[in-house]
Amino acid sequence: MADQAMIDIIKTEGYHLFEKPHPHSPGHTGLLVAIRETPTEQHFDPESIELSLNDSTQTAGPTRLTLESSNSGVYHVCPGKVILRDRMDKRVYFFAYGGSLETSFLPGTAMYCLQSPAPILLMAEGLETVPELLAAETEMYLARLHARWGADDEGFRQRLAAADPMQLYAATVQSMLTSYKRSSAWKESYHALYETLLGEKEWLTRLGRWPTTTGGLRDLLMD
């Protein structure tokens, strides 16, 4: 779970993003969420966290966690949106490529700590920020591949649930770069995202995590 410094921070915030994996990353290494019995009314006070977790069949399944949800433990997070909601139904959106969720409880507070080796993206709906565009493009690519599985929704969800977060992220970056290098118009319209993707390729290559094949997400998620 988060160290004492993080716990001290979360006492005055509804959620807290951890550091970035490198200075120019579009995302963060972790997300700490505090769901309180009594809202502070001084900031965004999450009442629930919604995300996709592995179930007993190793399949990605939507899950809503609240103050009373479960016992302390560590759970496998599947790729997809992470949504925080408050009691007024105000929402904050993130996107995760997978990871782990550790839960623990303090008096009157449930602590949820999401961590991933792949960047956790803070989405800003309605704004064309790099993280928002990257998350939206990832969802579009995954939806296209899901459609190619035909009626086998369960098979696709199982394959997605089993994907290593960094492998999925690297395959996503590779797929986007392969597509976008063919389109000068796209590179001009979304220059910041394109430059970010190039930087992520360099980072993943330094880590030895760049794919050895050229098919990107197709190689990872299709039979």
Least confident of 80-84, 99-103, 184-188, 202-206: 184-188
Q: What's the predicted TM-score (pTM) here?
A: 0.91
Secondary structure of residue 207 in the 3-state scheme: coil
Last residue of a domain, one of 104, 123, 142: 123
Q: Whole domain around residue 134: which residue ranges?
A: 130-221
How far is the first Cα of the chain from the last one, in angstroms, to the nearest whole number? 37
Query: Is there a single domain that holds both residue 164 and residue 95?
Result: no
Q: For residues 114 and 110, give the distance between their C-alpha atoms in angstroms, rounded to a whole number.
A: 13
CATH code for the domain in which residue 14 is found? 2.60.15.10
Beta strands in the chain (DSSP E): 15-17, 28-36, 48-54, 60-65, 73-77, 80-85, 91-96, 99-106, 109-123
Over residues 26-69, the pLDDT tens digits come to 999 999 998 988 887 777 889 999 999 886 555 557 889 998 87
Query: Structurally, how many domains does the chain consist of?
Result: 2
Q: Is 201 helix (H, G, I), strand (E, B) or coil?
A: helix
On whether the CB atoms of residues 135 and 123 are closer than 8 A, the answer is yes
Rounded Cα distance between 192 and 137, Å, is 14
Last residue of a domain, one of 89, 123, 157: 123
Residues 33 and 118 in one domain: yes
Q: Are residues 161 and 116 in the same domain?
A: no
Residues 19 and 112 placed together within one structural domain of the fold: yes
Tell me: do 56 and 134 sit in the same domain.
no
Do 107 and 182 share a structural domain? Answer: no
Same domain, 103 and 146: no
Same domain, 144 and 205: yes
Whether 101 and 8 share a structural domain: yes
Whether 31 and 109 share a structural domain: yes
Residues 16 and 118 in one domain: yes
Last residue of a domain, which of 100, 123, 146? Answer: 123
- Interval 154-170: pLDDT, tens: 899 889 999 999 999 99
Residues 169 and 77 in one domain: no
Average pLDDT, the chain: 88
